[in-house]
Amino acid sequence: MKITRKEFLRLTGLSLLAGGAMQVVRAIGQGGTAARAAASQPVRLGMVIDLSKCREKDGCNECIHACNTTHNIPQIANRAHEVKWIWTEPFGTVFPSAQTGYAEQSYTKVQVPLMCNHCAEPPCTRVCPTRATWKRDDGIVMMDWHRCIGCRYCIAACPYGSRSFNWQDPRPAIASINPDFPTRTKGIVEKCNFCEERLARGMKPACVEACPQGVFTFGNLADPESEPRDLLRSRFALQREPELGTGPSVYYLM
Amino acid sequence: MFMMEKALKGSRRYWIWLSCVTCFIAVGLCFYLRQLDQGLGITGLSRDVSWGLYIAQFTFFVGVAASAVMLVLPYYLHDDMHFARITILGEFLAIAAVVMCILFIFVDLGQPARVLNIIRYPSPRSLMFWDMISLGGYLLLNVIIAFATLRAEREETRPPQWMKALALISIPWAISIHTVTAFLYSGLAGRSFWLTAILAPRFLASAFSSGPALLILLCLALRRLARYDAGEEAIRKLAVIMTYAMAINVFFVLVEVFTVFYAAIPEHAVHFEYLYLLGGAHTLAPWMWISALCAIAALAILLTPAWRSRWLPLGCVLVFGSLWLEKGLGLIVGGFEPSPLGEVTPYVPTLPEWSIVAGIWAVGVFLITMFFKITVSVRKEAEG
Amino acid sequence: MRDRVWIFIGLAVFVAAFTAPFWHVHAKTSARQPDLVLPANQKECVAPASTMRDAHMQMLLNWREDVVRRGDRRYVAFDGKVYEKSLTHTCLGCHSKAAFCDRCHEYSGVSGPYCWNCHSDPQATVTRSRP
């Protein structure tokens, strides 16, 4: 078979193009099937955090400790390089718009547990250039640590500061490695996964289990009979910056 | 086809210059290897300021690359023959700038070994995907156009017919690369500093002044060092473009400042306060003021008829410096400070970070030197 | 013609450099089979041994896609046994990383899979965490 240089170049170009186009088409197709599967049996996992119970035990950080040991979170002294999945901030920082300016000290100083909001419309998954982070059909915003290239676009997109980057090798900063969950490496992003690996084994998230006050209520927000829905029906709840349209799945009871 | 042989013959000065530039590349490479080994922790970046100098420089050089359209447009669309000698220099500048952009993105990645995941798992919902396509396409267009033009000149034939078509395609394409780059930032709900529709127009305005400023300086250098004249009239026209683009850019910034401070929504104002209030932890404020003063001085020089032509080089330096600080540093860092939780983590680029940036600059300088050398040799031969 | 010496020296250096990997491997490794420690109390792997030898890398990558991206953790083996699709829990539940995986990888010159940057070897971590 004879082939001229020009033809060869043209064929190579065309097949490259076709290959690329197929990938794109497949990507779009996958998005569609995921959406359809979700519509058939609605599950939206979420968390309700009762701040009034949390306040009763000032200075307690059992939830944070449980998460750190479950997921091998490194404890890095340099604040700039911290990695955190669940942590606390003062109420005024977390809900700047819920303050009146003459607010009562008792709750403005309260420490509020923060974690990934597992948004209904997550801005982080939208921007990820490799689909290393995406929303599962049950509402968990997952990370594929095998695929993340460390571009940190998701960190820029997250309005809640829920994502951390591994600025260094985390292993030396983990006091004792829990072999049940892999660590991460330098150069990738990580965040709370709602203990997806524990849920798969029928367990509750580590923070929920560890809390001595029963502050956390975890369940299916799409099910009107679920525990978290019960609480949300009867108590006044806040979400972090709902006006951004992200639809956080973490609610705070006052 | 690339006429590399022309870049391999040069004076002593040429080789000394290239060796110096190579030294910078080598130093940058050494620091990059260290960054690969130890992680991005050796930069000044942090959990709160997760993008810094690398991404800011990327943004700035996308602008420089896009600005080639300010030569292609009058030359190919309006057949303005004054631009005959300078257009190709602009295209080569664009090629070097895009290469720098790609390198800046690459050194910013935490897992560079996985970079091909962007192609293996394309995600059209991400603007980074479109940025990759637009930058890659633009690079290809300019490489083809620039080298095909040169080749035609060397062989003293007319450039092929499809060339003009490609050049015309490259015009909207140039606009698109910088628009998409602006959309990278302006589509993020949580970052009110960038969440403004004027970001893309502002990017274009600053691009069309910083790029020509650099190109004019390069042409003036060529005239002195290589006795190659890009054309007095072309430089004059380019200076006019640069001046008005700069004026428009300053106007856009002021429009932004008005909206933010008159409406006085704290969430929007804090970023400007971070950038421009002197004192405290606001490490960037002095630089932003220098940038503002440079902009004012540049406009004063460029808009005053008596000073315009005499002080043109100074005007170009001021324009370039002002925008380099504003866009190549402040614009990205300002979006992260303060963080969504209201914290200000000082960002100071470290020595390794500066060295890597300098190394990438050196790659750009190296490419420009070679491209311009090839161009000048081919043209001098053709002119006899 | 005086260049001839240089040409031959150059050629020699080139040939030496080009074939260096072969010499290097020859000097370092013997042709003996690696001495793999197989699980004492188990007879079968999660697939026939020959399949495992050829395709365990692809299987692991498939598992990882299934678990992480599809939430599918159940693996039914060829002999009907059910396993969890897990590198640490399943593979290392039977095999020793150091005396099995690493030994063969070293022998076959596979640069140690980067998986261990994150996934732990339970044997190694247990000893490490008890100071």
**C8 vs C17, C19, C91, CA distance in Å?**
14, 16, 53
C73, C121, C129 member nearest A200 (Cβ): C73
Give how far the C-alpha of residue B175 lies from the chain's centroid of Cα atoms, to the nearest Å.
13
Q: Which of A134, A151, A240, A241 has the most B C-beta neighbours within 10 Å, making it the best mutation to test the interface with B?
A: A151
Residue span of the structural domain in which A33 resides: 1-40
Interface residue A151 vs chain C (CB under 8 A): no
Chain C neighbours (≥3 Cβ pairs under 8 A) are A
Residues of chain A positioned with their CB less than 8 A from the CB of B352: none
Provide, as residue numbers in chain B, all residues whose Cβ is less than 8 Å from the Cβ of A82: 47
ipTM score for this prediction: 0.92
Any domain includes C53: yes
> Which chain B residues have a beta carbon less than 8 Å from that of A165?
40, 47, 50, 110
A49 and A33 in a common domain: no
Q: Which helix (H) or strand (E) holds C84?
A: strand C82-84
Report the percent of chain C where pLDDT is more than 90.
Answer: 34
Q: From CA A246, how far away is CA A126, in angstroms rounded? A: 11
Contact call for residues B190 and B211 (beta carbons, < 8 A)? no
CB B175 within 8 A of CB B69: yes
Distance from CA of B79 to the nearest CA of A (A): 31
What is the per-residue pLDDT across C51-104, written as a single tens digit (0 to 9) for each? 999 999 999 999 999 999 999 999 999 888 999 999 999 999 899 888 899 888
CB pairs under 8 A between A and B: 152
B205 neighbors B249 (Cβ within 8 angstroms): yes
Q: Is residue C102 part of a domain?
A: yes
For A150-195, how does the pLDDT look when each residue is reduced to its tens digit (9 = 90+)? 999 999 999 999 999 999 999 999 999 999 999 999 999 999 999 9
Q: Is residue B1 part of a domain?
A: no
Provide the residue range defining the domain that includes B197: 19-383
Q: Are B199 and B334 in contact (CB under 8 A)?
A: no
Split into its structural domains, chain C has a count of 1
> Which of left, alpha, beta for B217 (phi over 0: left; psi -120 to 50: alpha)?
alpha
Instruction: Kindly give the parts of chain B with pLDDT less than 50.
Output: none
Domain assignment present for B5: no
Strand partners, A87: A114
A246 contacts in chain B (CB < 8 Å): 189
Q: Are residue A220 and residue A107 in the same domain, yes or no? A: yes
Other beta carbons within 10 Å of C90: 16
B110 with A27: Cβ contact below 8 A: no
* Contact criterion met (CB < 8 Å) for A144 and C122: no
Place of tokens 């050796």: B42
**A15-60 residue pLDDT tens:** 767 666 666 555 554 544 444 444 557 899 999 999 989 888 888 9
A153 in contact with chain C, both atoms CB, cutoff 8 A? no
CA of residue B324 relative to chain centroid, distance: 9
Given an 8 Å threshold on Cβ–Cβ distance, is B40 in contact with A151?
no
Does residue C89 belong to the interface with chain A, where contact is any CB pair within 8 Å?
A: yes
Give me the residue from A96, A189, A245 closest to B189, CB to CB.
A245
Q: Give the separation between CA A79 and CA A90, rounded to whole angstroms.
A: 17
Question: What does the block give as tokens for B350?
Answer: 């470290």
Q: Could you tell me if A119 lies within 8 Å of chain B, comparing CB atoms? A: no
Interatomic CA distance for residues C60 and C39, integer angstroms: 19
Grade residue C27 by pLDDT with cuts at 50, 70 and 90: low
Residue type, B32: Y
Residue B84 lies in a domain: yes
The count of domains in chain A is 2
Examine the domain organization and report whether A81 and A123 are in the same domain.
Answer: yes
**What is the percentage of chain C residues whose pLDDT exceeds 70?**
85
Nearest CA in chain C to A174: C129
* Predicted TM-score of the model (pTM): 0.90
- pLDDT per residue over A196-247, tens digit each? 999 999 999 999 999 999 999 999 999 999 999 999 999 999 999 999 999 9
Total number of residues shown for chain A: 254
Q: Are A219 and A46 in contact (CB under 8 A)?
A: yes
Dig out the tokens for A141 from the structure.
Answer: 């915003």
C124 located within any domain: no
Token pair 């590198």 in the structure block, residue: C87
Confirm if A110 and A90 have CB atoms less than 8 A apart: yes
Q: Report the number of distinct structural domains present in chain B.
A: 1
Interchain CB contact of A174 with B (< 8 Å): no
End-to-end Cα, chain A, rounded Å = 78
Of A128, A184, A118, A119, the residue nearest A152 (C-alpha):
A128
Using the predicted structure, report yes or no on whether residue C30 has a pLDDT greater than 70.
no
Residue A141: its H or E element:
strand A141-143
Residues contacting residue B17 through CB under 8 Å, at least 6 positions apart? B369
- CB burial of residue A159 (10 Å; 0-12, 13-18, 19+): buried
Whether residue C69 lies inside any domain: the answer is yes
Residue B12 lies in a domain: no
Name which of B111, B118, B183 to mutate to probe chain A: the one with the most chain A Cβ atoms within 10 A of its Cβ: B111
Contact at CB, C120 and A179, closer than 8 angstroms: yes
Residue C6: CA count within 13 A, CB half-sphere: 3
* Residue A70, both tokens: 């479950």
- What the block records as the tokens of A194 is 């709602």
Instruction: Tally A–C CB contacts below 8 A.
Output: 40
Q: Is some CB atom of chain B closer than 8 A to the CB atom of A30? A: no
β-strand A250-253 against A45-50: which pairing, if any? Answer: parallel
**A143 and B CB contact within 8 Å:** no
Chain A residues touching residue B41 (CB < 8 angstroms): 81, 167-168, 186
In this prediction, residues A71-99 reach a mean pLDDT of: 91
Instruction: Indicate whether A20 and A53 sit together in one domain.
Output: no
Domain boundaries, position C62 = 49-112
- Answer whether C128 sits within 8 Å of A177, measured CB to CB: yes
Residue at B4 is within a domain:
no
Query: Same structural domain for residues A29 and A119?
Result: no
Closest CA to B322 of B301, B294, B287: B294
pLDDT at C127: 46
**Contact between chains at A80 and B46 (C-beta distance less than 8 A):** yes
Element (H, E) at B25: helix B12-38
Instruction: Name the average pLDDT for chain B.
Output: 93
| Contacting A residues, span 55-94, partner chain C, CB-CB under 8 Å | none
Q: Which of A60, A48, A89 minimizes the C-alpha distance to A212?
A: A60
- Chain A residues with CB inside 8 Å of B119's CB? 20, 23
**Are the beta carbons of A176 and C121 separated by less than 8 Å?**
no
Determine the residue of chain C that is closest to A199 in CA distance: C71
Q: Chain C contact for A198, CB < 8 A?
A: no
Residues of chain B contacting residue A156, judged by C-beta atoms under 8 Å apart: 50-51, 185, 188, 191, 335-336
